[in-house]
Structure 1
């Protein structure tokens, strides 16, 4: 194979519904991923998929639209989003959330901001693995709390982090909260039970609140398995706020609906005393779409995962065939690849901007994933491979032509 060429062999086949995308549809809509770009630039940055939504989700939205049912939400019984969340956690991930502790929010950024305000005080340290989803870092910094980075470390076998002297490190940093993003964005690591147990023991020793962002839990590739942090035991569950949403796995981010299961009693009590309007109200559309995703769309998700598996292995093969030393590990979850361009021809301090200017591919800038921390991720870019294989081939071919 020619160095840097996109391989044509072995990744598993894709489902026909994900075999092609309609760029005209994507560019003509209101989504930022494509709509904000010049006509010749391919969007592979923000974490939306280029595919549509599951049929059950589309049909649920059309039913509501047909009834012109856009008033204030009302459910005659229990909130169906909460029930769908609880059932899904038990059936798919082996964890039974405690009844009466789940709240519905608009998105995980809102969940993080609310929980930071109700579980910590200005000046407190909040530990988080870095690199990290940029809005989380920005939100922590804006709230007047201190980011305590737990650096993700490269090795030939994969990404990981050090648990040596973890309790002492977090204690000296004045930590009062741990934000755990698992599966991890942007490296795609699925943390093992042993790694999670080490974090749980540190949280117990220091009496930390843990906010577990598990939004990518449904996007894990075999043989890896997602372990909900709250499932590690009763004491861990009692200090864990589990935040998740159907938005990433089912491509409905713009509909804005998320949930948070609140384990800590003191946080639950503070939230109960807050004004109701403080939390906002996700719409009827967002709720029915979420329920349809979690209850009726697993067949669609299984087909999607086969396509994403194909694409992540395609990126892995492409990276291995380049004439440069592109440091990359195939993600164990998510549809995001974390690429180190330090040994490539790019010498620009903003490599994603360089790629957009020179080869018309828009990726996410690595430095943003370590903002407000001393961790250096300036040579990295994040590539979103949730697209058709043909479009991914074009993206990779353009980058290889540097």
Structure 2
């Protein structure tokens, strides 16, 4: 198998996943948040072993809180982040957005506000819109090499603080001081905190991810999955740690099979990733660290970009109308358009979770197309 940092377009263009099948001929996809790297060998072996031996009901089926997923999650949270997560408070779901929708449905009413940093993850914005839970924005603003935000002056009517940390799409890692301020806000206004920490394992040194549950355990629902850091979004296995007693009581009061759960292949893949995938993760982080800096070196000077402190997502301000659409048609590169995340259409999100040679080609295409696009607009 080719080294991860040597993958070519020919290697990945034949894949049949969403990322590579939803673009036209000759277009390089740098949009949906899947990386181009195959998952760790330990994950592939765990799935193959399960398929080859026993696809029957798992032994932990009737009590997931004592199963391998809860144990692996709790081990990882304490080892990496110093958060002593009680495994008996862990529940398995298919993905994070499912958990968000369940909590909003059970513990809030239409019209209740949700505090959220903007721009933010597009699927969460869609959920808030469809469920009529209006966002109360805390706008992230570039400030030197980081991002700042102000707490809203009026949070009347808000019931939930939805924290995406590390942040998507900016890549900001909230500092302990910032999180302490948010914890005080949540206490002051009796907010349920839903902390999406799916990108926690993708924080770059010397920065560090701080798990919100370690600061405010009795008010926080911690959501995570191995899907982003270990590139296996298709396995549909997510974890919710129900630190908030009212949320736990509300979920436990529902019929036991109402919301479904993760399948055995997803659980096996997740446990293998968390327990045996860290050498692979370190290799990937080295590549991503190079890539995030390469964008800063190669992106045109009039495009605003801050090197992200986490994730494999670059947030770019091209300063032109319909930036993503123009770059797809003129440069042959597909990015996520800014309006998906609640930002103006001059912004776009670039997925740099690929090999340096492929990213070089993406940046070359953008650099070549931007002067032509700017000239057409002048």
TM-score tier (shorter): over 0.9
> 1:72–1:283: 8 Å Cα contact kept in structure 2?
no
Aligned-partner SS, 1:50: coil
Quote the Cα distance in structure 1 between the aligned partners of 2:345 and 2:154: 25
Quote the Cα distance in structure 1 between the aligned partners of 2:364 and 2:85: 45
Match of 1:291 in 2: 271
> 2:117–2:138: 8 Å Cα contact kept in structure 1?
yes
Match of 1:238 in 2: 218
Divergent runs of 4+, >4 A: none
Alignment of 1:122 onto 2:94? no
TM-aligned CA distance change 1:30 to 1:71, over 3 Å? farther
Q: 1:70 aligns with which of 47, 55, 58?
A: 55
Aligned-partner SS, 1:140: helix
Match of 2:337 in 1: 365
Match of 2:376 in 1: none
Ranges in structure 2 where 5+ consecutive residues have no aligned partner: 370-378
Quote the Cα distance in structure 2 between the aligned partners of 1:149 and 1:311: 30
> 2:112–2:133: 8 Å Cα contact kept in structure 1?
yes
Residue pairs, 1:1-400, within 5 angstroms: 17-24=3-10, 26-67=12-53, 69-75=54-60, 78-163=66-151, 166=152, 168-171=153-156, 174-232=157-215, 236-319=216-299, 322=300, 324-342=301-319, 347-348=320-321, 350-370=322-342, 376-400=343-367
> 2:9–2:358: 8 Å Cα contact kept in structure 1?
no
Match of 1:5 in 2: none
Quote the Cα distance in structure 2 between the aligned partners of 1:22 and 1:282: 33
> 1:73–1:283: 8 Å Cα contact kept in structure 2?
no
Aligned length: 365
> 1:131–1:377: 8 Å Cα contact kept in structure 2?
no
Q: How far apart are residue 25 of structure 1 and its match?
A: 5.0
Quote the Cα distance in structure 1 between the aligned partners of 2:5 and 2:224: 28
> 2:113–2:158: 8 Å Cα contact kept in structure 1?
yes
> 2:225–2:239: 8 Å Cα contact kept in structure 1?
yes
Q: How far apart are residue 17 of structure 1 and its match?
A: 2.5
Quote the Cα distance in structure 1 between the aligned partners of 2:57 and 2:116: 37
Q: Deviations for 1:76-97, whole angstroms, at most 9, x for unmatched residues? A: 8821111100000000111101
* Superposition TM-score, scaled by structure 1 size: 0.88
Match of 1:401 in 2: 368
Relative contact order, CA 8 A, sep 6+: which one is greater? 1
Match of 1:12 in 2: none
Q: How far apart are residue 391 of structure 1 and its match?
A: 0.5
Ranges in structure 1 where 5+ consecutive residues have no aligned partner: 1-15, 371-375
Aligned-partner SS, 1:127: strand
Quote the Cα distance in structure 2 between the aligned partners of 1:277 and 1:116: 19
Quote the Cα distance in structure 2 between the aligned partners of 1:18 and 1:28: 16
> 1:26–1:35: 8 Å Cα contact kept in structure 2?
no
Q: How far apart are residue 115 of structure 1 and its match?
A: 1.4
> 1:338–1:382: 8 Å Cα contact kept in structure 2?
yes
